[in-house]
Amino acid sequence: MDNHLRFRLDLSYDDYLAYYQGVARAVRVRSLDGRVVEFPASALRSFVTHDGVHGVFELTFDAAHKFISLIKAEG
Contact 68, 58 (CB under 8 A): no
Query: Residues 11-42: pLDDT tens digits?
Result: 998 888 877 777 778 889 999 999 999 998 88
Q: Whole-angstrom Cα distance, residue 54 to residue 47? A: 8
Amino acid present at 58: E
Dump pLDDT digits (tens) for 36-50: 999 988 899 899 999
| Fold classification of 4-72 (topology level) | OB fold (Dihydrolipoamide Acetyltransferase, E2P) (2.40.50)
Sequence spans of domains, the chain: 4-72
| Model confidence, pTM | 0.86
Helices in the chain by DSSP H: which ranges?
13-20
